Amino acid sequence: MARLSPSANFLAPIVAETLLDRLTMVTREFPRTLLIGAHDAALADHLRGTGTTLTMIEAGPRLAATQGAMAVEADALDLPFASFDLIVWPGGLDGINDVPGALVRLRALLAPDGLLLGTFVGDGSLSKLRRAVMSDGVRPVARLHPQIDLAAMGNLLQRVGFALPVVDVEALTVRYGDWFALVRDLRATGLSSRLDPAPPPLTREEVARIAVAFGAQADPDGRTAEIFRLVHFSGWAPHPDQPQPARRGSGSASLADALKPKS
């Protein structure tokens, strides 16, 4: 990502627009903000424009140095508790080593009634690529990191102590002329393999087999439709003034009566 032009990352402006739209629906100010990922200068500039004090972290040392961010992974972040009122994470949760550990750290970094808002590429994405890399003649080794689904994300947010968790998904379809164009996009968006140790590199024969298998899934016009499932999530650090769920069994209306057919 650091070597490529920022404009090559087609996902960044889409994710940023969605997150900013959701942020505008929150009727409160956030004096201190943490942005996880320094690859989108436009998003960082917009957040600064709200008057917040912006801190950035970035896993890639080269990107961190370029953007003035701290070079650290989210699951290794060590800052004082309750340091931020807003944490924005526009991608990358699915690519870190310790997902629950990262969420625990972020929960601790939020002041009471602070907001965590983020997006990642979730379960069900890139299904045609996954089928292609499992083609006959391609060594069966891990080349794609695990993906997180909606239910797992909702459970994680609750388990680590976030209040009022919300998780939803947006399916984005992108059509490619060949497998190589998809690979270029994955590299530009930071979605290529981050496995450590890295899997053995593909041979020329394996590359050819994957490209053929990917193209075999194309539509009649020769382009292959691949899906990116963008999982959007949010959660609040608990605060006494937040809405509380009703006590179990406290309802006065009967569900059985509500489901009865009307006469």
- pLDDT at residue number 198: 82
**CA 77 to CA 72: how far, in whole Å?**
6
- pLDDT at residue number 166: 95
- pLDDT at residue number 179: 95
Helix axes 150-159, 99-109, angle to 10 degrees: 50
Amino acid found at 41: A
**CA 157 to CA 165: how far, in whole Å?**
6
Angle (CA) 219-145-205 rounded to 5° is 60
- pLDDT at residue number 3: 80
CA distances from 215 to 141, 189, 236 (A): 21, 22, 44
- Residue 113's nearest CA partner among 49, 53, 36, 30 is 30
- pLDDT at residue number 56: 96
- For the entire predicted model, the pTM comes to 0.88
Element (H, E) at 115: strand 110-121
10-residue mean pLDDT series, the chain (263 residues): 81 94 92 92 92 94 89 91 96 89 96 96 93 90 80 93 95 96 92 81 94 96 96 93 64 63 63
